[in-house]
Amino acid sequence: MKTLAIIGGSGLSELDGLQQSQEVSCSTTPYGVPSAAIVRGRYAGREVLFLARHGRPHRIPPHQINYRANLWALQQAGAEAVIAVNAVGGISATMGTGHFCVPDQLIDYSWGRVQTYFEGDLQQVTHIDFTEPYAADLRAELLQALQAEGCDFSAAGVYACTQGPRLETAAEILRLERDGCDIVGMTGMPEAALARELGLPYACLALVVNPAAGKAAGPISLADMEVVMHHGMTTARKVLGRVLAGRS
């Protein structure tokens, strides 16, 4: 059984119920300092690694996360596969508040982020195949767990990764919709590509916490988002528990 790492996003800075056995302090890596110490423990009876993407407490904005250090530290701690949990906005009509999505594709609209490990004094240029950015087997495990938990979910979707930390304009969301995007978040890239470069199977469990800009009457309510995150991430923990319990 591959050791699974969980990267928790907004609303999931702690994995409640984790029986912690060790905190792996990675004060530095060849790529700088990770967002937080990695917690090693048992969840649903299985060994798991947990990293809070935005730090503990939640303090690092999406554009300042050291994605390279995070993925590198997880691999060095023994991670062999990664599930990322993301809070997102819903663009498509099917992506209502509280809905889960396991995206199968993404489009990167972020800028200025360090995108790769393959730079600097290289012996040769290296490219990765990123046709399918998410691991099919890991996605299937998430879909099976969501179904078993009785969740409202979509088995596919296109994740749009924007720069943040501001939310998008209504015109920007219309552009993303024309591009074929179903959900929008700020942390999906370069995380997914870096995992691919390290050879780590990677999948995303996305929780829709608000209608994207212009998709509901009035401005986006951050207070309402917090309520949805609180309840939705409780369900997400159960889904993750089912994934871990079902692994052999």
Query: Which residue ranges make up the annotated binding site?
Result: 10, 53-54, 186-187, 210-212
Taking each helix axis from N to C end, the angle separating 136-149 and 222-245, rounded to the nearest 10 degrees, works out to: 110
For residues 194 and 116, is the Cβ–Cβ distance under 8 A?
yes
In the annotated binding site for substrate, the residues are: 186, 210-212
For residues 83 and 74, is the Cβ–Cβ distance under 8 A?
no
Burial label, 15 (beta-carbon count in 10 A; 0-12, 13-18, 19+): buried
The per-residue b/e assignment along 105-135, b for 16 or more CB within 10 angstroms, e otherwise, is ebbbbbeebebebeeeeeeeeeeeeeeebbb
Measured from the Cβ of residue 36, the count of other Cβ atoms closer than 10 Å reads 24
Give the helix ranges, DSSP H, for 6-88.
67-76
In the annotated binding site for phosphate, the residues are: 10, 53-54, 187
